[in-house]
Structure 1
Amino acid sequence: MDWYQTLFEQIDMRSFSNLWFWIVLAVIWSTASHWVLGVPYDMVVRARQQGGQAEADLEDLVRIYVNRLLYIAEVSGLWLIALGCFALTSLALLGIVYEIEFAQAVLLLGFPLSLVGLLSLATARRIRGEDARGEHLRRRLMRHRFYVQVIGMVSIFVTALWGMYQNLAIGPLGG
């Protein structure tokens, strides 16, 4: 038995029957809902509970991340959208038309995350436009986190349904 065969026995390329795919899915959505516009959610909670310096730190960090996100969008936003659309379209074609399971899995991870990216950009623009501070800023961040969690729950549900369908239709051994 050679190392190549041993490696691919350990890393199953069938995504939906692979435990690692489900671990990655859980970690991605856990991370996405914890980091609100790049700011850890515990800072939002601490600013609400303690106020003062914790709130000033939150406002400073949000300002930094909002300016960074909007700068990236202004400088290379069109290229990033074009590259993202190309990647998602390629994954959709490979996954749907050619029925490549790995592409389906990456599409089910990438498409909802692209929605989160667009939501983050819209929220950053709102925060800058409103010059949100204090309670208004915390509410805006909590609302953003709620929408990210909704997208995550729908994504996990759809991915679980599709994964169960794939495992039942194709079977655990791929044929």
Structure 2
Amino acid sequence: MDWYETVFEVIDMRSFSNLWFWIVLAVVWSSASHWVLGVPFDMVARARRNGGRAEQDLEDLVRINTNRLIFIVEEAGLWVAGLGSALLTGMGVLGFGYGIELAQALFLLAFPMSLVGLLSLRTSRRIQAGENSGEALWRRLVRHRFAVQGIGMLSIFVTALWGMYQNLSAHVL
């Protein structure tokens, strides 16, 4: 037995039985939940609690990030939407049509994150439309975080179910 076979025997290279995939899934959703529109959520809590300079810093950072996101969408939104749709469709077809487990895993990571991206754009537009300071901003950011957490919980649940199904069906066959 050579070195290459030994490594692949010890480390299962299938996505859903690989510990690294689950670590990446946890880190992606933990980060998405913590960074609300590019702003760490503890900054929102601090601004709400202390006001003053912390509140001004929060408003400035949210303004910068929402302006950046909306600028990107206005300049390259069609290209990003087209390329993103093509990649998601390709991963979906390869994964679920042709049974490639890596494509399934990537799709189950990328599709919900694309929903978070759309939600972030919607939230950015609402913030720029007038919910850009004080209590209105805090409420909008808390609602956005709650929605991201909901998408994340559903995504982790569906991914775990699909991963268990894949692992059980692989061991049965």
Give TM-score scaled by structure 1 length. 0.94
User: Offset at 1:13?
Assistant: 2.5
Q: d(CA) in 1 for partners of 2:2 and 2:52?
A: 62
Is 12-21 or 163-172 further displaced after alignment?
A: 163-172
1:72 paired with 2:72, answer yes
Is 87-96 or 8-17 further displaced after alignment?
A: 8-17
Moved over 3 A (4+): 1-12
Partner of 2:123: 123
1:105 paired with 2:94, answer no
Partner of 2:14: 14
Write the letter of the residue equivalent to 1:135.
E
User: Offset at 1:169?
Assistant: 1.0
Q: Does the 8 A contact of 1:88 with 1:110 survive in 2? A: yes
Change in Cα spacing, 1:3 to 1:128, as seen in structure 2 (3 Å) is farther
Write the letter of the residue equivalent to 1:150.
G
Change in Cα spacing, 1:166 to 1:146, as seen in structure 2 (3 Å) is same
Give unpaired runs (5+ residues) of structure 2: none
Q: d(CA) in 2 for partners of 1:30 and 1:123?
A: 19
Alignment of 1:4-153 (within 5 A): 4-5=4-5, 8-9=8-9, 12-153=12-153
Is 152-161 or 122-131 further displaced after alignment?
A: 122-131
Identity %: 68
Please tell me the root mean square deviation across aligned C-alpha atoms, in Å: 1.5
**1:4-28, Cα deviation, whole Å (9 max, x unpaired):** 4455456533111111111100000
User: Offset at 1:132?
Assistant: 2.0
**1:86-120, Cα deviation, whole Å (9 max, x unpaired):** 00000000011100001000000000000000000
Q: 2:75 aligns to what SS in structure 1?
A: helix
Q: 1:91 aligns to what SS in structure 2?
A: helix
Q: d(CA) in 1 for partners of 2:102 and 2:69?
A: 30
For this pair of structures, how many residues does the alignment match? 173
Change in Cα spacing, 1:3 to 1:74, as seen in structure 2 (3 Å) is farther
Q: 1:171 aligns to what SS in structure 2?
A: helix
Give unpaired runs (5+ residues) of structure 1: none
Is 50-59 or 128-137 further displaced after alignment?
A: 128-137
Q: d(CA) in 2 for partners of 1:11 and 1:71?
A: 44
Give TM-score scaled by structure 2 length. 0.95
**1:118-146, Cα deviation, whole Å (9 max, x unpaired):** 00000000100125211110100000000
Q: Does the 8 A contact of 2:92 with 2:107 survive in 1? A: yes
1:160 paired with 2:134, answer no
Q: Does the 8 A contact of 1:13 with 1:102 survive in 2? A: no
